[in-house]
Structure 1
């Protein structure tokens, strides 16, 4: 199975879960991990700029990685997935949780 196929299946399942568990618009918590770099963190923050997002960062104990928790109101499961795709497209080597 290709990476694209796996990604499509993952997002289809996520969309279904979001539809089943939330009423929309709803608050959503994104979690990402990047190698600790001011540039990487700024790239992620820029994607959520002017959206009303609350962004918290936390460095790993060894300082090698930084987690970003981003909380904001989203209109629909489709909007949640579109934002995930935007982040993974614009920021190299990011891990989405």
Structure 2
């Protein structure tokens, strides 16, 4: 992981620690190329976690936005999921 990415996760953890009481409901937002396999990979990563998942294709159909609302135990688990998702080619975390 590069230094910039590492610093981002450190800042995110601080922010999450200071602004939320854990466990809490967390909203993930991702944009992925509209490739069924990639969208399913994102959705499957949150399967069996009681997540509410909403997907919406862009007007052109090239991309799909995926919003996931899920109960997370602590900031470390939130960051763990972001890292897991970063392995999906073309994904953008919002």
Normalising by structure 1, what TM-score? 0.93
Aligned residues: 94
* Aligned partner (choices 46, 49, 60) of residue 48 of structure 1: 46
C-alpha displacement of 1:93: 1.4
Cα deviation digits, residues 23-64 of structure 1 (max 9, x gap): 000000000001111111111111111111110001111111
- What are the within-5 Å matches in structure 2 for residues 75-86 of structure 1? 75-86=73-84
Residue 25 of structure 1 corresponds to: 23
Normalising by structure 2, what TM-score? 0.96
Runs of 4+ aligned structure 1 residues displaced above 6 Å come to none
Structure 2: runs of 5 or more not aligned: none
Structure 1: runs of 5 or more not aligned: none
Counterparts of 1:59 and 1:45, CA distance in 2: 14
CA RMSD of aligned residues (A): 1.0
SS class of match (1:61): coil
Residue 90 of structure 2 corresponds to: 93
Residue 32 of structure 2 corresponds to: 34
